[in-house]
Structures are given as structure tokens and as C-alpha cells.
Amino acid sequence: MGSEKKTPSRLPHTEGQLARAERVLKAQRHRSTVGPDFADYAPYVLDCAAHIGRVFKIETGPTRGANNAFSVWWHDLLQDDEFDWLRQYRDTELKDVKRITRILTTIRTQDGGILQVHDVGLSVTKPDGTTKTSRAKDVNKLPPGGTAEYIIRIGPWADQEFTAAIGGFLTRWRDVLLPAALEFVRQTSEAPPRQGLAMEDGPF
């Protein structure tokens, strides 16, 4: 008995770019160390995530031109905070104006306490739950047993860990936006031709 033939994707280029962005993000999770390695690759992670929209815009152009509801949906999505800020994050990192993240280094002490080094100082939480904070210099090398998190400073993902925030954006594409777009494509392909121009696209 032969294997069933897989139905070709209606948006293969968009799905391919989404899969690529997911692979790039997965690789970035292994770079969570103090030093230049994580920061050097962060712009590429952001650009891969942003490129999904650019590919989608090109791939769905003819379909959106024939389906005004689809065009309006995409136009509204471009005004979405996450889409808008992703462009800003990408541009800021690529131009190296300033980093969009701060580093939070956590070290678990032998007595069961937690020591954290962050932008404003050193925070020590003892086993009894009491915490003391003082000013401290940046950590340039991750101590043995320590963990480093890159926390986004601004925008809708402020105070979220970098890979978790981008991962959430990609999951939104995978679970919400792509299925909705594929439904628009299906409806358009089954509908008779109609006259009229689609709403103009915004920048991406």
C-alpha cells in the first residue's frame, strides 16, 4: 500500500521562511552566554522573523488583490504592535545604535541562595527569601553553573526573555496567522473572479 500524497502548501515560501526562522531561533537558544556571541547573532534572528512578513507580502499579493477582506486583514496586521516593534528591534540591532536587551546573570550559591547580576546592580536572595541589592559591575564572563538571560528592554516584549519573546511571535505565525491566511487563500481560489483594487500595503 503506497503512502498518501501530501497536499502541496498554498503558501510554500511563507511556510519555508517560518520554518527557517524557527531553526535560527533554536540555534540562538544555545548561545545564551555572556559575551559577544549572542549579541552578534541577535540581528539575524530578528531579521529572519521579520522576513516572514516580507515573503508573505510578495507571495499573497495576487490573492489579496482579488480578495479585499484578505487585503484589509493584512493591512491591519501591519499596524499591530508586535509587527511594528519587530521592525524597530531589527533596525536598532542591525545599525548597532544600542542593544535592545539587557543581560541578567543568575548564579545559584552553594547554600541554596540566588545571586543575580543585572543592569542596576547585584541582587542576592538568601535561602530564607530575603533579598539584598547593591550596585555592581557587568559580568564579562559567566561563572560556572551560572545562567545568562537576555531581557528585552522596550516595546510590547519589554521584560521578556529574548528567545521566549521571538518564539511567541513565531508561534503566533504558526498557530494563528498562517491558518487564517490559508483560509483566505482557499476562499479566494474557490470564489469567482471579482473586480476592484485591494487596499494598499503598508511598509514592512
Sequential DSSP letters for 45-64: HHHHHHHHHHHHHHHTHHHH
* Residue 146, all three cell numbers: 551560572
On whether both 144 and 61 belong to a single domain, the answer is no
Q: Per-residue b/e over 61-86, b at no fewer than 16 CB within 10 Å? A: eebbebbeebbebbeebeeeeebbbb
On whether both 128 and 39 belong to a single domain, the answer is no
On whether both 144 and 168 belong to a single domain, the answer is no
Domain count, the chain: 2
Q: Is residue 167 part of a domain?
A: yes
Assess contact for 16 and 176: CB atoms under 8 A: no
Strands 114-118 and 121-125: antiparallel
CA distances, 8 to each of 12, 13, 15 (Å): 8, 12, 11
On whether both 28 and 95 belong to a single domain, the answer is yes
Per-residue pLDDT of the chain (204 residues; tens, 9 = 90+): 455 556 667 899 999 999 999 999 998 887 766 556 777 888 899 999 999 999 999 999 999 999 999 999 999 999 999 999 998 888 888 776 667 887 776 666 555 555 555 554 445 555 666 665 544 445 555 556 666 778 888 889 998 989 999 999 999 999 999 999 999 999 988 654 444 434 344 544
On whether both 110 and 190 belong to a single domain, the answer is no
Q: What range does the domain containing 127 cover?
A: 102-152
pTM of the model: 0.74
User: Taking CA 111 as the corner, what is the angle to CA 107 and CA 116, rounded to the nearest 5 degrees?
Assistant: 25
On whether both 85 and 49 belong to a single domain, the answer is yes
